[in-house]
Chains A and B, each alone.
Chain A
Amino acid sequence: MKKYSSQKAAINFIKNNTVPILFFIICLGGVIASKLSIPYILNEIVNRLDRNLFLVLSLIIPVVAGMGLNFALVIGAMAGQIGLITIKVLNIGGITGLFLAALISIPFALLFGYGTGKILNRTKGKEMITSLILGFFAMGLYQLVFLLFVGTIIPIKNPEIVLPGGVGLKNAIDLTIIQYALDDLLSINVMGIKIPIFSLFIIGLLCLFTKFILKTKIGQDFRALGQDMHVAEVAGIDVDRTRLMAITISTLLAAWGQIIFLQNIGTLQTYSSHEQVGMFAVAAILVGGATVTRATIGNAILGTILFHTLFIVSPNAGKNLFGDPQIGEFFRSFVAYGVIALSLVLHAMQKNFDANANVESME
């Protein structure tokens, strides 16, 4: 009935990938305007893939399970930070410290994921806004624990991390003891670009894990749920339990993702490192062409590259174009939130276009 010419295929490709293409163009412009050297940009991109991709990948499973984008990544990130704070207190560094942190974060992540899942099961259909607000709420609890309970209820005395009054953690905690523990375990230098092989290997494992789990029984249940919860329920799938699994896995991955992120950065901003985690990861995967209902590993990788390229080049581009790096900085956060809004709007518009095109093509 329909003729598929190559021209039509090209137009369809552009239509289906509006968001990534748009960002590719913006990034290209930014790269040119920033006048930064390509090796520098590549180096930064690899560095940021290493830092962020794990977190972005942790978003995929809830999307497949029909729960939308999990803004509650923030809560997982807190579990990761609890692990890091613990090893700092114990003063165990290096790769041992890192794995210990990952280990310690597990029970917290599972507990937090379970709680998040329980709440999301009560607010079916409104998961995204619920997880977003839940993230804010958790931040309050987090502050309560680490600002008030530390030194009073939780006996931590280490003056290096505790505020001078003896109560509450300091704003910034130095994580030099584990910095690059993972990245430097095995890394090579290709034409001036540092490639942290081991970190990328771990991320590769996560990709395989995600691919694998979607091929298993539980993965099939996730996909069934993502399409139609009611049908899945009638087929005997335990909907609530499956959703709980999806969000718990996502939370645990977020915890580990945050640990990987912070080992690269080297400093824990106690009260703000986790703040933007959900928002930036969501923005990245959306830039990669994911939607609220469809997300792939490819989306995550492409999105992380594009989103962070823009991050890398925007201060310099701002300085070169407007004579003020502040404008670039502003542009950066503007982009992060703008991306989310834009890709959601584009997604809706695309649906509309498709429907219109369908009618117009009728003869």
Chain B
Amino acid sequence: MGENNSTKYVIELKNIEKEYFGNKVLKGVNLSVRPGEIHGLVGENGAGKSTLMNIIFGMPVIFSTGGYSGEILFEGNTVKIKSPKDAMELGIGMVHQEFMLLPGFTITENIKLNREILKDSIASRFLGPQLKTLDIEAMRRDARKALNELGMTVDEWLPIAGLPVGYKQFVEIAREIDKRNVKLLIFDEPTAVLTESEAEKLLGAMKMLAAKGIGILFITHRLYEVLAVADNITVLRDGEKVGSMKREEASIEKIAQMMVGRKIERVEKRQNKAEKSEEIIMSIRNLYVDMPGEMVKGVNLDIIKGEILGIGGLAGQGKIGIANGIMGLYRAKGEVYKNNKKIELNNTRKAIENGLAFVSEDRRGVGLMLDNSIELNIAIGAMQVKGMFLKTFFGVNWPRLVDERKIRENALKYIKELDIRCTGPTQITRRLSGGNQQKVCIAKALTLEPDILFVSEPTRGIDIGAKKLVLDLLVKLNVERGMTIVMTSSELGELRSICDRIAIVYNGKIEGILSPYDSDTNFGLMMAGEYKSHSKEAVR
């Protein structure tokens, strides 16, 4: 490739800079992708990857916050990409981290979204192309073709609602490859929601697309995936390009080191606590939770006071549903006892009043009020349920006033303790990076001073440095305050690094409970639901 300089690269970014409210998030980034190249882009959360992608794809958020500076060359020509439409017309496609699919449309309609094949109707001849009717047959043929290219056998007329997560991701990709003019594809953490086998299939599809001459920009947190498929790797840190290398020169350690900029310490396994109580603080009996995609189908589990209990398992097996059901966020049925007292289900307020707190895996949807300040987000739960941060008004007890001074003090305390990087306690949480948003969520739960803290996916989408901080914090709370912690996580490694016991969920039920020191094989078997058949031990 590259006989001629103008078509050497699909895209070239030159000295891209971007500011959000005076906060520089990109500081002169250069990046270029050749046709047929898979270019891995890695970096911690808040490193500027998403911002860079948003600039390339012309997302409205960039222009509503003052645009960017620098130059973008697409196939050798300078371009200004002002909207997703511009990007698409140039031949840039994006596979989004959250699915950009319409649940009520069929697979075909989603693949052809806004690129429907049209045929003339009587009205369109007079009143313009907007009144052309859809050629469903042709659309289905195209969709079928795109799905076949990806090796998908699913029927193209099925509605999206009800498809497994992995399929949805492939429908998104099918949509991009169906765009015949596509020259550059951006994959924004496409494997984050996939199981390992699905992720492998996806990586295969990426290689296949690259072989067709499409340039691919691949963003991920999973470093081994970058090593598996990328030809070149660029590392961003704090809005700067800190390194780029060919795959042959790269190793996980090297990339990780560049990303963090300091030597990564492995989160060490915690020493067994000296005294171990056997008092059961919570028992869950026959819990069913109707959480779409994470159904819980009859869980029995005892939580011991003062422990860190891990709940693991593969995506879609129901591990996430347990905490959500107990906290009343999704419909639940069954019995939950705390200190032998039954807790009312489907009532979040009661759950919190009973000394439970929850850090949701969905921090933007459930965890935060995105357009409110950090300090209010931290205080709001305790204010509502426990009446904290309120003061009387000249001795009158009702209505009580918000005690802004205490809210500020509390927020400042947690900003310092958890190292929340922000412009101040009044910054709105929407503008924080994912990791910092998560820290605000944890601060909010801690402010409730719970007996049992449920945390779901506490490190999802958080950079390695902050990950360690979060895990250390959980251990510290457990040791110093004696807080019982139930941590749900997809990352077995982090469960094994801090938990006392790990319950593995399979098909909506507890498959078994393991010690963090158990063998990899046992964990593997349990997650696959094969433990019982391979083991003679009776596991409840």
Q: Give the B-binding residues of A (Cβ under 8 A).
A: 212-213, 215-218, 220-221, 223-224, 227-228, 230-238, 245, 355-356, 358-360, 362-363
Contacts and interface: CB of A to CB of B under 8 A. Distances in A.
Chain A interface SS verdict (over half): helix
Contacts of A358: 290, 331
B105 A216 contact: no
A360 B289 CA distance: 10
Interface in B54-74: 59-60
A228 B102 contact: yes
Given A217-B129, A224-B113, A359-B288, A236 B88 contact: yes
B116 interface: yes
B288 A362 contact: yes
Contact of A217 (B104, B134, B290): B134
A216 B290 contact: no
Given A215-B134, A216-B131, A362-B295, A227 B114 contact: no
B13 interface: no
Given A216-B132, A217-B129, A236-B114, A231 B331 contact: no
Contacts of A220: 109, 116, 134
Contacts of B134: 215-217, 220
A236 B85 contact: yes
Contacts of A360: 333
Interface string B87-110: 010000000100011111100010
B60 A233 contact: yes
B295 A231 contact: no
A359 B331 contact: yes
A98 B19 CA distance: 60
A232 B131 contact: no
Nearest to A215: B133
Given A212-B123, A216-B130, A228-B102, A359 B290 contact: yes
Contacts of B295: 362
A290 B91 CA distance: 41
A102 B175 CA distance: 44
B124 interface: yes
B105 A218 contact: no
24 contacts: A212-B121, A212-B123, A215-B134, A216-B123, A216-B124, A216-B133, A216-B134, A217-B131, A217-B133, A224-B105, A224-B114, A231-B101, A232-B113, A233-B60, A234-B59, A235-B84, A235-B100, A235-B114, A236-B85, A355-B290, A358-B331, A359-B289, A360-B333, A362-B290
Contacts of A215: 133-134
A34 to B, nearest CB: 42
Nearest to A226: B104
A234 B100 CA distance: 8
A355 B331 contact: yes
B49 interface: no
Nearest to B345: A359
Given A224-B105, A356-B331, A218 B84 contact: no
Contacts of B104: 223, 227
A216 B333 CA distance: 45
Interface string B218-232: 000000000000000
Contact of A218 (B100, B103, B131, B289): B131
Nearest to B60: A233
Given A227-B103, A227-B104, A358-B331, A236 B84 contact: yes
A193 B272 CA distance: 89
B84 A233 contact: yes
Contacts of A230: 100
Contacts of B88: 236
Contacts, number: 85
Contacts of A223: 104-105
Given A355-B331, A358-B290, A358-B331, A217 B60 contact: no
A217 B132 contact: yes
A220 B88 CA distance: 19
A356 B288 CA distance: 12
B18 interface: no
A91 B83 CA distance: 52
B398 to A, nearest CB: 30
B118 interface: yes
B185 to A, nearest CB: 15
Q: Which of A215, A216, A228 has the most CB of B within 10 A?
A: A216
B291 to A, nearest CB: 10
Nearest to B114: A235
B297 interface: yes
B332 interface: yes
Contacts of B109: 220
Contacts of B131: 213, 216-218
A216 B121 contact: yes
A221 B113 CA distance: 8
A234 B84 contact: yes
A257 to B, nearest CB: 20
Contacts of B289: 359
Contacts of A233: 60, 84
Contacts of B101: 231
Interface in B284-309: 288-290, 295, 297
Interface in B120-175: 121, 123-124, 129-134
**Residue of A221, A245, A359 with highest tally of chain B CB at under 10 A:** A359
Contacts of A231: 100-102, 113
B331 A232 contact: no
A341 B379 CA distance: 36
Interface in B254-299: 288-290, 295, 297
A358 B332 CA distance: 10
Given A234-B84, A234-B96, A217 B331 contact: no
A212 B133 CA distance: 8
A237 B118 CA distance: 15
Given A230-B100, A359-B289, 5 more contacts: A220-B109, A220-B134, A224-B113, A224-B114, A231-B100
A215 B103 CA distance: 18
Given A231-B101, A234-B84, A359-B331, A217 B130 contact: yes
Nearest to B131: A216
A25 to B, nearest CB: 30
Contacts of A237: 113-114
Contacts of B132: 216-217
A35 B17 CA distance: 79
A357 to B, nearest CB: 9
